[in-house]
Structure 1
């Protein structure tokens, strides 16, 4: 795994990101649809400034994993300064690379970038099988005041 390279995704990575998202969705039981790779790549390219992502690649160039995020910038108020937070939309590692620390490396790379860019809070929806990974890099359960409404 030490030969895996992690870089911030660029426009040239859009199709590789889309292919990894497709794999993740199919593994979770989603049905494929024609045109998804192009649809995702186009959507990510249009939003990439607000949706930083990192891609892990094997020495032969094959994608091995990704972390996809959204950056939210909160406007200042009289009670607090402006701030930013990041939501992890997807952390995915291909099956043959799991259990070797790649997910943790992707998370840590994202955190370093976020902290260097003024992000003061990171959040994600934890699946039970990855909870210890998230705790290892410092994630905890949120404040009980946090509420959400889903459609």
Structure 2
């Protein structure tokens, strides 16, 4: 059985990120042939500044030299709350594994990379909106339902 390699994406990976996001957006994001060209232009423009600027972090999983899965994190800051003094949080999005590569633990490995990064970056809370397919994985990793999303708080945060 092949193993995968995971690494944080940079601008040099822009086309791989666009390709995987395109697959995801066709399933969940309303992307159609009619709006795909404009979406790709806007996505490339966003990624070309957001990836190097740290506004969007992406991890890619490679199998047999090809990116087959991705995960994304948008860090942001809110005003401090009583139980969340730093205000630093992250929103997880674009969790996607190509169908042929599902069921091999790639999404779990991507999430663990993302969560380790969040701890190191001092993000006191991560949250996401889960598909029914993904919900079980996130809950096994410690995410708990709240009224609007699933949420995870690192130990000691």
TM over 0.5: yes
Shift in alpha-carbon separation, 1:131–1:46, aligned structure 2, 3 A: same
Deviation for aligned residue 1:83: 2.9
Deviation for aligned residue 1:15: 1.1
Which sections of structure 2, spanning at least 5 residues, go unmatched? 150-157
Q: Which segments of structure 1 move beyond 4 Å, counting only runs of 4 or more?
A: 75-80
Q: Is the 8 A contact 2:2 2:64 kept in 1?
A: no
Partner Cα distance (1:92, 1:26) in 2: 12
With the length of structure 2 as denominator, give the TM-score of the two structures: 0.81
With the length of structure 1 as denominator, give the TM-score of the two structures: 0.83
Question: What is the aligned residue count?
Answer: 144
Q: 2:100 maps to what in 1? A: 96
Q: Is the 8 A contact 1:55 1:67 kept in 2?
A: yes
Deviation for aligned residue 1:2: 5.2
Q: 2:75 maps to what in 1? A: 71
Partner Cα distance (1:14, 1:122) in 2: 24
Deviation for aligned residue 1:64: 0.7
SS, match of residue 47 in structure 1: helix
SS, match of residue 119 in structure 1: coil
**1:5-50 CA-partner distances (Å, limit 9, x unpaired):** 1111111011110010001122346303225434312211222211
**In the alignment, is residue 50 of structure 1 matched against residue 55 of structure 2?**
yes
Q: Cα RMSD between the aligned structures?
A: 2.3
